[in-house]
Each structure stands twice: as C-alpha cells, then as structure tokens.
C-alpha cells in the first residue's frame, strides 16, 4: 500500500506502479519546463522568480515520499491496516473489482475395491463467484504560485506542511473504508464492505436479548471471560468456522483495560487477566486499537485466502499540470485499494467482529 525499499524489493507489480508514478512526475517536469521556456521572454522578473523551480528534483520528491511513509503509522486504526500488508494482493490499476471462484459440491461416490473397476461417476464441480470493489481514493493540496517562490527551502516546507494536513484526512478516509466500507460504492453488484460489516465476516452480538452473548468485555470478570473464549461465543465461532486460532484480535481500549487488570489467585497476583486467559483462547495475540471503542473487537486469520487488502495503486503524490506560469502548484494524492474477505462453499470464514449489535 506504500512505496518503500522493502515493498518494492518484494513485489514486482508494485515496482510497475512505482514506474508509472515517476512517469507522471517526469511528464510534469517536461511540461512545466516547456511553459517557462516558451514564455520566458515576456515574463516579469517576479514571475520568473516564482517559477525558478524548473522540474522538481529527486531530492524534492524524496522529501515528499518520505513524509508519506512517516505519516502511515500516525493515523488511528492504521495499525490494523498495516498488520495486513503481508497478505496484500497487488493488482493492475485497471481492475475495479477482484473476483474469485467459490468451488461447489461434487458427487461423493468414492469407490473402494480390489480390482479398481467398481462404478463411479465422472462429474465436475460447479462454481459460484464473489468479489470486492477496488475504489480510487483521491485528495489534493496546493501552494500559491507567489508564495512558493520557486519552491525554494521555504516553498518545500509549505508543500510538506500542506501535504501533512491533507494526508491525515486521506488516511482517515482509508482506515474508515477498511473498517466500515462505503455504502455508495458497488461494482458488478459487489458492495464495498469493511472488516466490521463485510458479508463474510462472522458477527458476534455481545449484547443481551435473543441471540446475544450477554457479555460486556469491558467489565466482565475472569469466569465470564474464560467462558467467552472457551465454550462461549468466541470459542464456538472459531470452532464452527474450523479456526484453530485467530492470528490477532484487536480490542477497544476499554476491553484492553479490563484484560490488563491483575489476575489474583488466593490473594496473590499472578500476572494479568490477559496472560491468564490467552493460553486457553483460540487466538495467538490480543492487541489494542483506538479505532475500536467500548464493547467491540475484531479478529482474523492473517492469510491471503482469508483476508487481503487489494492494491491497484499504492499511495502516491503527483503534481498536476500548470497551463500558465501564474497557476498554483497543485498536487494530487491518489491510491486504488479495497479489501477482500472470503468464505468457502460452506460459508466458513476466518474473520470475526464482535460488538453490541442490534
């Protein structure tokens, strides 16, 4: 989802995205230089000073790209998205949805015989298809052509400050999409859904009433917590979906505070509640996220065939064309990404969301 030395070294498709990003930047350099060259004789000294930048240098873009990487970990909830980078699926930008086949049933007539000639059928399985959209995220920011002063040391600071403010908004939108999707987006009848509301995410209603687990994990005592992870709703959901252990469970700060309490046995502190329950819970690790609140958690098996960020274009910044020397320096932040959560032909899934659901 980001261009870095590590991701570029391990993913050839992402290298193609990187080349396309630089092609856009180099085209801007050529176009901007041609405008100045064609009009230099009639430009005023102030106009020449404000357009002295020429093409943006590699050092300029290094600062822009470094800030993108610096800000990737600063948005609340981005820790969940970043945890899934290892199972991301990089696709061509022309893909607007990632489809997959769901293998159907086939005859169960397996013959056991001495001569191997007993009758059995030669049928084939049927397929159903499913998929998830890959929308484009865009945002922009600009620097007044007079204030830029040729984008010298003061100008680049103005660009970076503007980018920082807009990148925070950009990342907020991305995190919200990964968690909640976007009801306005639909491609080939496939809705844009996030971890919390995806049709293949298994839901646990922690609230009271019919079908509810009737547990508040922010205040539950040890007995209730052990039951929840064992024979209760969480453990049952894992076993029903044939999950031996979820790789990570993200919980709200309120749940975390309850799990972080001292575990007291016969008046003696024996670690925390979390340390006591984790060896018996079908989950390898429990972490806190400020993106969740109250009686709310997310858990998943970190495997590409279970959950995968879909990357059609990694987050990048390009300049927009300037038709005249007194047009502002405008920049566009863009990415194309979505989320895929799959289920098998039996409807089993390795992703679960728990909250007080209506």
Q: 186 and 142 in one domain?
A: yes
The Cα-based distances of 269 to 40, 219, 255, 261, 343 in angstroms read 78, 19, 20, 10, 42
Q: 310 and 297 in one domain?
A: no
The H or E element spanning position 22 is: helix 12-39
Please report which confidence band the pLDDT of residue 324 belongs to, taking 50, 70 and 90 as the band edges. confident
In a domain, 160, yes or no: yes
In a domain, 46, yes or no: yes
Q: 44 and 63 in one domain?
A: yes
DSSP state of 42: G
Q: Which of 25-34, 192-201, 247-256, 311-320 has the lowest mean pLDDT?
A: 25-34
Average pLDDT over residues 340-353: 94
Q: Is the pLDDT of residue 302 over 80?
A: yes
The H or E element spanning position 34 is: helix 12-39
Please report which confidence band the pLDDT of residue 83 belongs to, taking 50, 70 and 90 as the band edges. very high
- State the DSSP string of 113-151: -SSS-S--------EEEEEEE-PEEEEEEEE-HHHHGGG
* 3 state SS of 215: coil
pLDDT in tens, 30-72: 888 888 888 888 888 777 776 766 667 788 888 899 999 988 8
pLDDT in tens, 96-145: 888 876 654 555 556 565 555 565 555 544 445 688 999 999 999 988 87
Instruction: Return the higher-pLDDT residue of 293 and 107.
Output: 293
What's 274's domain CATH number? 3.30.2320
pLDDT in tens, 136-169: 999 999 888 766 655 554 446 778 888 999 999 9
In a domain, 278, yes or no: yes
Q: 174 and 150 in one domain?
A: yes
Is the model's pTM score more than 0.75?
yes
* 3 state SS of 97: strand
Instruction: Return the higher-pLDDT residue of 188 and 278.
Output: 278
229 vs 173: CA distance, rounded Å: 33
């Amino acid at each position: 989802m980001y261009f870095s030395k590590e991701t570029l070294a391990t993913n050839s498709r992402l290298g193609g995205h990187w080349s396309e990003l630089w092609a856009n930047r180099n085209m801007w350099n050529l176009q901007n230089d041609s405008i100045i060259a064609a009009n230099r004789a009639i430009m005023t000294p102030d106009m020449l000073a404000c357009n002295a930048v020429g093409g943006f240098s590699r050092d300029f873009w290094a600062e822009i790209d470094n800030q993108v990487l610096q800000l990737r970990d600063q948005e609340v909830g981005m820790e969940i998205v970043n945890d899934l980078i290892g199972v991301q699926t990089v696709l061509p930008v022309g893909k607007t949805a990632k489809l997959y086949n769901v293998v159907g049933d086939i005859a169960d007539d397996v013959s056991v015989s001495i001569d191997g000639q007993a009758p059995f059928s030669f049928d084939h399985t049927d397929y159903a298809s499913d998929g998830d959209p890959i929308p484009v995220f865009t945002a922009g920011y600009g620097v007044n052509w007079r204030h830029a002063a040729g984008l010298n040391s003061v100008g680049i600071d103005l660009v970076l400050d503007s980018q920082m403010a807009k990148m925070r908004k950009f990342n907020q939108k991305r995190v919200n999409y990964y968690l909640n999707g976007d009801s306005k987006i639909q491609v080939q009848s496939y809705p844009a859904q996030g971890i919390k509301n995806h049709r293949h995410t298994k839901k646990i209603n922690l609230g009271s009433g019919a079908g509810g687990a009737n547990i508040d994990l922010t205040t539950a005592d040890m007995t209730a917590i052990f039951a929840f992870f064992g024979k209760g709703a969480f453990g049952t959901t894992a076993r029903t979906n044939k999950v031996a252990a979820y790789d990570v469970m993200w919980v709200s700060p309120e749940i975390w505070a309850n799990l972080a309490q001292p575990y007291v046995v016969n008046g003696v502190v024996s670690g925390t509640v979390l340390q006591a329950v984790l060896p018996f819970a079908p989950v390898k690790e429990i972490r806190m996220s400020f993106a969740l609140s109250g009686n709310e958690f997310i858990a998943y098996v970190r495997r590409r065939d279970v959950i995968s960020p879909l990357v059609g274009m990694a987050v990048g910044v390009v300049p927009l064309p300037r038709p005249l020397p007194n047009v502002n320096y405008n920049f566009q932040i863009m990415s194309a990404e979505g989320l895929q959560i799959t289920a098998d032909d039996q409807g089993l899934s390795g992703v679960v969301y728990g909250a007080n659901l209506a």
